Amino acid sequence: MKSLSVTLLTAMPLLFLLLVSASAQTNPARAATASTPPEEKVVKVTRNSAPPPQMREAENFTGSVGVELLQEATAPSRLASGRVTFAPGARTAWHSHPLGQTLIVTAGAGWVQHEGGEKQEMRVGDVVWTPPGVKHWHGATVTDRLTHIALTEQQSDGKRVEWMEKVSDAQYKAPAKVQAVPAPVRRSTTNNRPSARAMGDFAPKLAEITDDVLYADVWERPQISRRDRSLVTVAALIAMNRPDQLRSHLTRARANGVTKEEVVETITHLAFYAGWPNAVSALAVAREVFQQQ
């Protein structure tokens, strides 16, 4: 009798501990309000530190590329994202994605092609979906840099790409599909076009010819790449000391793949041809444009 009560007494604290730990496990509300939330329950902002990516030769690519991993897949999500910058002439090898891939072009211009299909152009803002298992490649054009964000779901074993042979020069330089620019996009969104926004309410005819002749026709001509067209335009505006027009054209130049270093070098170069005051005025505008995210 005595030994039984001793056993019960020593067993009590253990029983108490078991009950407490069981209740902590079965009462998530109590755990959640206890202290700071666990890391996986808060929104995480990764700042755009954005030095230009290191451009280098890489396995499974031709030419010079800068690959930046933005976000690894974090379970239960299977989505990984990365940003890839291709120098003019650079491209991936042929490859496929077991769960498909979405590309969003953020700067410059490029080409994408699936096996047996025509090479297609892609430009800033274009969204490209490649279905699971489809053999394809993507990269810059011969004359333009390209930056795209790639959104790729991975299998449970972590695999998200199947690499194959390199894209030959003949394949890469084959003519691109001629793309009819859909008329409604150009015509019906009148108020959304660059000059319509800037001056359409005040000088509608000037806005119309600027958008229809300058931007929709001259700027679209393939004889000079968009990047080079931007450089030529920016150089002229610096030489004429036109900071207002330079501001919008530097923004456009940036979108067309002209880097900050190239703009600063252009301004330094032009100080000798267009004059020091023009260069200094341009520098202030360039600083403003490239400080914007």
Nearby residues of 239 by Cβ (< 8 Å), 6 or more positions away = 270, 273, 274, 278
**Span of 10-18, 97-105, 207-215, 236-244 interacting with Mn ion by CB under 5 A:** 97-105
Residue 147 in the binding site for Mn ion (CB under 5 A): no
Count Cβ atoms below 10 Å from residue 27 Cβ, excluding itself.
10
CB of 84 to Mn ion, least distance (A): 9
Nearby residues of 251 by Cβ (< 8 Å), 6 or more positions away = 289, 292
Q: Which residue is nearest to Mn ion (CB)?
A: 101
**Span of 6-14, 34-42, 101-109, 188-196 interacting with Mn ion by CB under 5 A:** 101-109
Nearer to Mn ion, 150 or 207 (CB): 150
Nearer to Mn ion, 138 or 252 (CB): 138
CB of 162 to Mn ion, least distance (A): 10
Nearer to Mn ion, 101 or 225 (CB): 101
CB of 52 to Mn ion, least distance (A): 22
Residue 62 in the binding site for Mn ion (CB under 5 A): no
Nearer to Mn ion, 64 or 101 (CB): 101
**Rounded distance between C-alpha atoms, residue 51 and residue 59, angstroms:** 23
Q: What value does the CA radius of gyration of the chain take, rounded to a whole number of Å?
A: 28
Would you give the end-to-end CA distance of the chain in angstroms?
A: 80
CB of 57 to Mn ion, least distance (A): 19
**Rounded distance between C-alpha atoms, residue 143 and residue 108, angstroms:** 10
Identity of the amino acid at 41: K
CB of 95 to Mn ion, least distance (A): 6
**Rounded distance between C-alpha atoms, residue 131 and residue 43, angstroms:** 30
Residue 101 in the binding site for Mn ion (CB under 5 A): yes
Q: Report which of 157, 161, 144 is spatially closest to residue 61, judged by C-alpha positions.
A: 161
CB of 93 to Mn ion, least distance (A): 10
Binding site for Mn ion (CB under 5 A): 101
